[in-house]
Structure 1
């Protein structure tokens, strides 16, 4: 399991291919041990390379936060929908390494991601957050950054023997 102890101030910067192994390990933790993602199988590094390329080809940001030379978290955006009228709307994703939560890294990543989205001409950022009833950190992080509640989808995911809702939060840039 990929874990990190943050001992210095994290640096947020564009992700590079050499970060993908750490990104895959961080995400695998959440796929295997939580309800915050609806994936049931952890994507391997090759799949992450494909996703990374797709984000870049779309002209969207993919960022990492590094501490002591290790990836402490990552954030990126993907197109919200494929139809052309949605071209200025994206969905964001943020994941932190175990041991890196509660230290402000998510806020650093989200701030940098929103800035990069604005620079890319994005108008709307959508956060789709699994509502497990136990973790309010992600909605709180987004609300502190100006996201507003836009809706709820009830019982749309089934994982680990349980139905899960999603909350939709939105921010206009």
Structure 2
């Protein structure tokens, strides 16, 4: 089409246009994870494996690995939560794992929180971390550790600090992913 043949699109005045329906509020429910949630959990996690440095994993986790992890955490009585939309979609998850395998560490856990890409920035991380802290306390845990990448995870550090986690240390250049060295920030919260 020639430029001189182009005719600008006519736009109706505001009072004649049909109003856009209001956007539905972002709604979700936090609940205990179930085996049926694991394919969605795997997809959320593997997105971060492939596209970010917030996890130092370089290989995607299989559904079989997630089933084993779920069974292990369930056996230990460790919280594993998901946030679910009203339509049943898993929007994110949060879990704790033993900090170390030695028995003396049995009351200390490390947390993990991952959100589906479309669920970020809507308060879901805050809701999951709050529920995870409460569930861990109810499960008898006494200390929670967060190990967060020192690059690209500033919002995660800020979120943990809002929940009373305090920095206890840093480890520099302990991971190598996407052709660069990465460190970690360690934060800790006492669960009273």
TM-score by length of 2: 0.85
| RMSD (CA atoms) | 1.1
Question: Which residue is equivalent to 1:23?
Answer: 41
Cα deviation digits, residues 34-70 of structure 1 (max 9, x gap): 0110111110111100011111111100000011310
Deviation of 1:136 (Å):
1.0
Preserved contact between residue 95 and residue 132 of structure 2 (Cα < 8 Å):
yes
Unmatched segments (≥5 aa) in structure 2: 1-23
Corresponding residue for residue 101 of structure 1:
120
1:54 aligns with 2:88: no
2:46 & 2:107 partners in 1: Cα distance?
Answer: 29
Separation in 2, partners of 1:148, 1:58:
26
For residue 50 of structure 2, the aligned residue among 15, 32, 48 is: 32
For 2:58 and 2:52, the matched residues in 1 are separated by 10
Change (3 A) 1:135 1:91: closer
1:9 aligns with 2:23: no
* Whole-angstrom CA distance in 1 between matches of 2:181 and 2:187: 20
Please report how far the alpha carbon of residue 84 of structure 1 lies from its aligned counterpart in structure 2 after TM superposition.
1.1
Matches of 1:91 and 1:114, distance apart in 2: 11
The answer (yes or no) to whether the contact 2:78–2:139 under 8 Å persists in 1 is yes
Greater relative CO, 1 or 2 (CA 8 Å, sep 6+): 1
Q: Label 1:171 to 1:71 Cα distance change in 2 as closer, same or farther (>3 A).
A: same
Number of equivalent positions: 167
4+ aligned runs moved over 2 Å, structure 1: none
User: Whose strand proportion is higher, 1 or 2?
Assistant: 1
- List alignment gaps of at least 5 residues for structure 1: 1-5
1:14 and 1:169 mapped to 2: Cα distance? 25
- The secondary structure found in structure 2 opposite 1:99 is helix
Paired with 2:99 and 2:111, the residues of 1 have a C-alpha distance of 9
Q: Work out which of the two has the higher radius of gyration on C-alpha atoms and give 1 or 2.
A: 2
Query: Counterparts of 1:152-171 in structure 2 under 5 Å?
Result: 152-171=170-189
Correspondence for 1:3: none
